[in-house]
Structure 1
Amino acid sequence: MSDEFVSHGIVLDDEGMAQALDVLKVGAAELWSVLSVETSGVGFFSDRRPKILYEQHVFSRLTAHKFDASNPDISNPKAGNYGATGSHQYDRLLAAMKLNREVALQSASWGVGQTMGFNFADTGASSVEDMVERMTRAENDQLLCTATQMAKNGSINALRARDWTNFARNYNGPNFAVNNYDARLRAAFNSFSFGGTPDLKVRAAQNYLIYLGYFPGTVDGILGKRTRDAMNLFQAKEAMPETMTLDDGTLERLILRVNALPL
């Protein structure tokens, strides 16, 4: 696949999580609550492009409605018309980029925290192109962008207080209640508080297995049956010993195979 948005899809590690938590001064459960609601806690699609959601009403607003009549599926003052996740979102983004590249990039939400492109300055990026490059590179970069934006726009205070209603209003917008955003955050926090947060090594293996065409189930950092079965299939194909736990050799081989995938 030749695409400017495809990368090796480098996933979150302990260093990236620690860096974000240091910016936010919150616990891991608080941060995972946001990520799980925004993207189920995964920053890349299976094709190793950053997760995005294209917003037609943002493109319409930022272009002063110039393309509403000629391209109503791409530029529309009404929110919605999202369609399927995954490659369809890039189909819409690429169509908008042909009309106005910079505004199109600003009109999508990016990465594991779904940071809007027009908020690039709040992420510490010098331009939307700079922000998108970071989002494309690795989940560590995605998460740092999200954490930096939270610190800049003030939503960090509500997150620290676990004030899910005000956090939802600040981070998701005034219509947050339509999708029960605050209630979902609260439920996610309770789950992570009592059940623990994802094991990042297992989560990495799950993501890499997906990139390679295996089916480990939900990316949740838990080495359940589906993940173990997928891991064992990979180990068998690689003529490696089949194990009940994820060992360093298997994770290293997964990374090696992912890095060999075409960009």
Structure 2
Amino acid sequence: MSRMFSRQTATEIEKAAQEFGLEPAALLAIAEIESAGQVFAKVEGRNEPLIRFEGHYFDRRLSGAARDRARAEGLASPNAGAVANPRAQAARWQLLDRAAAIDHQAAYESTSWGLGQVMGAHWQWLGFNDVDALVTEARSGAAGQARLMARYLDKAGLTGALNGHDWEAVGHGYNGPGFRKNGYHLKLSEAYTRQFDGPAPGDRTMTVGSRGELVTELQEALVALGYPMDTDGIYGPGTATAVKRFQADHGLAADGIAGERTQAAIASALPFSGSGMWSKLKVWFAGLVGRA
């Protein structure tokens, strides 16, 4: 199983791979690199796909008064990177909403969506009726995000390279000509190997710097137990503080590291009523600890 995704998300990615004739482990590898294991962001209580708004794309799609307004509001620029994306996904969605108030289609086309960070501008090329149909797919859940990523790889003619493990070709086709600068092809190769080797000993321990869907589930479990924090999938100081508080309250060494004993204690403390999110989390944590 992926060390970043839950079993359910990994299964959805594998199904999308099979639908498009892609090797499941290879698609999981790209999904890990593109998303750092984070599938959703909480936006006003909703699970939404991760997005990135590109102000230079937006600028190209506007003209006249609309472009002037967007530039004046700091939403558009002819220069790539001039419009900064906030770190928090909720703030990015607010940025997108402001852009959509000027031109809905242009704003959604200027945004990359979901696990594979597929640009909305590709909607027609990818066979959607309009950009809203592409966005609906991305917002439909992990399965929709995975299908969108697989559809892009298929349409871009990268199936052979992906299934043949030609990571340089995949890196060039998916990440762009500058893929070597950030070692994209090397990261892909390492992520692919992990799908078979599994996490190294201790990899299921979560600590400051850990990221991904499993961190989100840890955060949601702690929130359910009365330890508030952001459920953003990033194990930062706030999460470490909450873990320390939980550990101190349950007679554990308060080191802020969610190792096997801490995860087992969280599983034991979670309420179980036979249904509901927290019951599912209890089952998940118990299974995680059992596999460690």
Q: State TM-score, norm by structure 1.
A: 0.71
Aligned residues: 231
- Listed as ranges, the gaps of 5+ residues in structure 1 are 1-10, 241-247, 256-263
Pick 1 or 2: higher relative contact order, CA cutoff 8 A, min separation 6: 1
Contact kept? 2:216, 2:234, Cα under 8 Å: no
1:95 aligns with 98
- Listed as ranges, the gaps of 5+ residues in structure 2 are 1-7, 205-211, 236-256, 282-292
- Separation (CA, whole Å) in 1 of partners of 2:215 and 2:88: 19
Q: Rate the CA distance shift 1:162–1:206 in 2: closer, same or farther, 3 A.
A: same
1:34 aligns with 30
- Separation (CA, whole Å) in 1 of partners of 2:50 and 2:171: 20
Contact kept? 2:52, 2:92, Cα under 8 Å: yes
2:17 aligns with 21
1:243 aligns with none
Alpha-carbon deviation of 1:35?
A: 0.8
Alpha-carbon deviation of 1:145?
A: 1.4
Q: State TM-score, norm by structure 2.
A: 0.65
2:244 aligns with none
1:5 aligns with none
- Asked if 1:253 is matched to 2:279, the reply is yes
- Separation (CA, whole Å) in 2 of partners of 1:158 and 1:66: 45
Correspondence list, 1:199-238, <5 A: 207-211=216-220, 213=223, 225-226=258-259, 229=262, 232-233=265-266, 236-238=269-271
For the aligned residues, what is the CA RMSD? 3.6
Contact kept? 2:115, 2:145, Cα under 8 Å: yes
Alpha-carbon deviation of 1:110?
A: 0.8
Which structure: larger Rg? 2
- Separation (CA, whole Å) in 1 of partners of 2:278 and 2:106: 39
1:51 aligns with 50
Secondary structure (helix, strand or coil) at the match of 1:53 reads strand
Contact kept? 2:32, 2:191, Cα under 8 Å: yes
143-152 vs 19-28, which moves further: 19-28
- Separation (CA, whole Å) in 2 of partners of 1:131 and 1:125: 6
Secondary structure (helix, strand or coil) at the match of 1:45 reads strand
Among 145, 149, 153, the alignment partner of 1:146 is 149
Among 176, 179, 199, the alignment partner of 2:179 is 176
Q: Rate the CA distance shift 1:35–1:44 in 2: closer, same or farther, 3 A.
A: same
Alpha-carbon deviation of 1:32?
A: 1.6
- Separation (CA, whole Å) in 2 of partners of 1:228 and 1:58: 48
1:261 aligns with none
Q: Rate the CA distance shift 1:252–1:121 in 2: closer, same or farther, 3 A.
A: farther
Alpha-carbon deviation of 1:42?
A: 2.4
Contact kept? 2:50, 2:89, Cα under 8 Å: yes
- Separation (CA, whole Å) in 2 of partners of 1:155 and 1:65: 38
- Percent identity reads 22
- Separation (CA, whole Å) in 2 of partners of 1:137 and 1:79: 29
Alpha-carbon deviation of 1:171?
A: 1.4
Q: Deviations over 1:163-220 (max 9, x none)?
A: 2222122112233334332232223223334226999xxx97764554563689779x
Alpha-carbon deviation of 1:250?
A: 8.3
Contact kept? 1:106, 1:117, Cα under 8 Å: yes
